[in-house]
Each structure stands twice: as C-alpha cells, then as structure tokens.
Structure 1
Amino acid sequence: MIKLQLFTTAGCHLCELAEQTIHNAGLSPDYQLELVEIGDNDQLVEQYGIRIPVLRSGKGHELNWPFDEDAILAFLNMDARV
C-alpha cells in the first residue's frame, strides 16, 4: 500500500477540487489517500496554511496546487523512480 496525504482544511473549495482531481486520476488500488486536516495543528497551519491543497507522497515529496490528473500521474511516476 502506497500512502498519499492531502493537506486540507474545512471549507476549502480548492481542497475539495483537489481531492476530486486525485480520485479522477485513476490511481491503482495500491494507493491510499489520507486527508490531513491542518487546522488541528499549529505547526501544519504554519507550514501549509497558504499553500493548501498540497499532495504529499509516501517518500515525502510534495505537489502544490494547482494540479490536474496528468500532473498527479507524472508526480507519482517521478516519485516511484527517485
């Protein structure tokens, strides 16, 4: 299982769009998406507050918004090779 994290917060319409974009990318069942609520953690708010939504791979690489399905697939392909 390959874990992906999407840093998000309640009421963020871009975060909702990013989550839908990730689901539409047609990732294999090997990928599991975890939504990380930054509002519950001051350190995460400081780190991601103006950057969300941000997709983080299991290796810790990050893809900043805006992204589309092709960018997600390219990001994960690159991450798999690194």
Structure 2
Amino acid sequence: MPLTLYQRDDCHLCDLALAVLAEARVPEFESAFIDDDDDLEARYGVRVPVLRRADGAELDWPFDASGLARFLAG
C-alpha cells in the first residue's frame, strides 16, 4: 500500500513522526515536503505531519506505533 508522509523541512514533529514510522518498521513511504507547494501548504499547513494512504485516508499527528498499525490495517 503506497503511503505518503506530508511534512516540512526543519520540523520537529515531522522528525518524531519519522521515528514512529521507523519504530513500526514501515517498509516504504514517500515523503512530500509542503514548503514550496501552495496547494499542499493550503491543505496541510497546520496539520503536518500527516500520513496518507493510497485510498485517501489520512492519519494526523500525533500518532504512535499502535495507532499507526491500526491505520495501516484499515
């Protein structure tokens, strides 16, 4: 299942989300940086980090490894 993590450069919360993804051993995901994209900035500006599945479901921060596992199973 393709995943995309929407994030910013120099974002402490994004770093924490990356650590949770590593802890949960999420094998592959795309990173999308919203800083230079007006559309992504409008959609995710105050919400990052956000993990999005290919089916459009989104998991907003904060999340932990167990919440992430439920999201990935969903």
TM-score, normalized by length of structure 2?
0.93
Which residue number corresponds to residue 40 of structure 1? Answer: 36
Work out the CA distance in 1 between the residues paired with 2:55 and 2:12: 27
1:56 partner SS: strand
Secondary structure of the equivalent of 1:40? coil
Q: Distance in 1 between the 2:57 and 2:36 partners?
A: 22
Write the distance in 1 (CA, Å) between the matches of 2:46 and 2:9. 14
Give 2:67's match in structure 1, choosing from 48, 65, 71.
71
Deviation of residue 44 (structure 1)?
Answer: 0.4
Per the TM alignment, residue 57 of structure 1 is displaced from its structure 2 partner at its CA by: 0.7
Secondary structure in structure 2 of the residue aligned to 1:39: coil
The answer to whether the aligner puts 1:60 opposite 2:73 as a matched pair is no
Deviation of 1:70 after TM superposition, in Å, equals: 0.3
Query: Where does structure 2 lack aligned partners over 5 or more consecutive residues?
Result: none
Q: Percent identity?
A: 42
Query: Structure 1 length normalisation: TM-score?
Result: 0.85
As a proportion of its length, which structure holds more helix? 1
* Aligned residue pairs, count: 74
Q: Rg: which structure is higher?
A: 1
Is 1:12 equivalent to 2:11 in the alignment?
A: yes
